[in-house]
Structure 1
Amino acid sequence: MTSRVNPQQPSGTAPVVPAHRVVVLLFEGLQLMDVTGPLDVYTAANEYGAHYVTSTVSPDGGPVTTTAGLRLVPDLSLDEVDFPVDTLVIPGRPDWWAAVADTALVAGITRLADRARTVASVCAGAFPLAATGLLDGRRAATHWRLADDLAARYPKVEVDSDAIFVRDGRFITSAGISAGIDLTLSLVESDLGPDIARKAAKFLVVFMARPGGQSQFSVRQSPRHPAHSVLRQVLDQVAADPAADHGLPALAARAGVSSRHLTRLFRTETGGTAAQYVERIRVEAAQALLEAGDDALDTVARRSGFGSEETLRRAFRRRLGVSPGIYRDRFRTTRPHGTRED
């Protein structure tokens, strides 16, 4: 499973860029796509001038069986890794408790991480990585269904249950399965710039690339189903027409309750304020408009309820960590890089 150099590169010439050594750790019971997703991204990047050299490694050099029943044969054993590692990728297994109970695996991750410039985990791979203690005091992501388990098992880790991926220093951790592709595209962009990452994403027919701060799921699905009928009515109204007047007084008047009572309902049932929920709905509406068309940013701002381009930009920075223009460029992979100023 070793990557190949760009096939368009003439034989006998020097690589376009220096070799970047990637090690993907294999172990029993891992999730198959946690491995193949990142490997396919690196292979695609090599088609466009990258020089990633990937090696798969298992603790004893023997084959492992994935959750899909497919056996993977590694290139090396862990003890045979005698070279500097630029990026270490740690996949996950759904029964994460078996991974963290494997002391040899955790010790192997510690040894590899010590020599790696960047350490990445996919989905439940955050658990054996956290077991090393290397994530203590750091932010980390995992699949949303496992976030509470990760926080409970490793209270020194600051778990982000919403983000697709999180980078903290040389550690980058991602949510479930396909988020490993987003994570790896982000690593390619950090290594070689957005052009090669964008081309790799287009080759794979995936978005380039969901920002790490983007939610794992729609904001409409994130609050638990409200028990109070008044709040259900309010949430439905906001989702149905994000551009309407959804200030607290207007929401309360339409619901027939006081602003103070509505505020208590939001706090109790969503854990936030009405303004926070409205902003999240409007950001999601703006995302859909940016992904689907070429409307000017002031038009997107008006149609999604922000009113002004500057308000839209501030909300995107706060919620997603990127500007609306950059967000559109990342999702509209057929657009040449740099054609939109933001």
Structure 2
Amino acid sequence: MSRHDRITYTTGSRRGRTGTGEPGMTELFRNEVSSAPLPPKVIETWERRVGVHRSNIHAEPIRLTGPDGMRHYGQHVEVRTDDPGSFDSLMYVRQLSMIGTFCSLHTPLEVSRNPRLISEQPSEDLVIGVHTLEGKHIIRQGSRDFAYGPGQLAFVSNASPYLERTFEINDPAGLVIPLELLGNQRRVAEQARRPVASHTLLARATASFILQFASDTAVGVTEPGPDTEMAAIELVRAALGQLDYDNRQITDNALFVREAVSDLIERHHRDPSFTPNAIARYLHISRRQLYRHFEDTEDSLAARIADRRLKTACEFLRTRPDMAVSEVARISGFPSSPTMRNRFRAELGIGPSEYRARAAAEADPVENWESPTA
């Protein structure tokens, strides 16, 4: 999870060593990885997820393959693989006014930063990454190995030794933040740390934001201003504070609130009692404070909840022909069948029964709307 112009991957002749005299993960986990270039279908799916088709600048990815690609991967780290000839990677990187962003796709590899590199190539950056693909992913910091799953935030400081190992194709995206911008959280960032607990609202909101923000900026979908960059840094500082058991208030951070609202809607929309008031209670803020974070958005919070329920109802109508419309309304979160029917007609121009009939008659049912995003 490294930025190309800040990080170098170089093949090493001392296979199985980290450069510090300690056994490396190549030695510990040899023969557990698959050796093959990136499949075209995987590349296509990844490009669609990161939004290459939405780019406003037609950014071209950096494609690095084989031993030569490993040698030119960046600076500040070393990379090893069991089969350098099969190494394959794609990445988009972007340097903003204060921070860097990246999104990448690569075959299994081992990345390390050891005391020699720290001395010869100083770097005062914190790299924050999150990936979506299933697979074994381990980071060694200090004397401990930490396993990371999809959606979990990983923090590594270039000021400290670490070793990262992925065993399958991986798709990290993230931020590169100068340590000096972290304020009183710099101390936390420089220490060996476990993953941020993925079950917390803050962690999910931060991971979701980083995935979207890093991809959108790296491929050229958006052009964020300094205020957005500072808000992103504050969100990362809050996540670091969670690692240090610092429960400081972050509900003034609009990025956090919007991502948290999206997460809450996704998790609770099927509960008919779930309303904007419930969101405010979950976040421990007033309704007025909650609505203030959405003043410049197109859809109201109530509309966002209703549209997510509509999407769920459409899915049940397409896939469960045995289920009564009233039951679809109930399990989708609508208070009543008439409420769901009114939403269908307002958004799609047809009722739920007609939608189901069309879905059964067509290979690709009409679905001319998308759920809102924060």
**TM-score, scaled relative to structure 1:** 0.31
**TM-score, scaled relative to structure 2:** 0.29
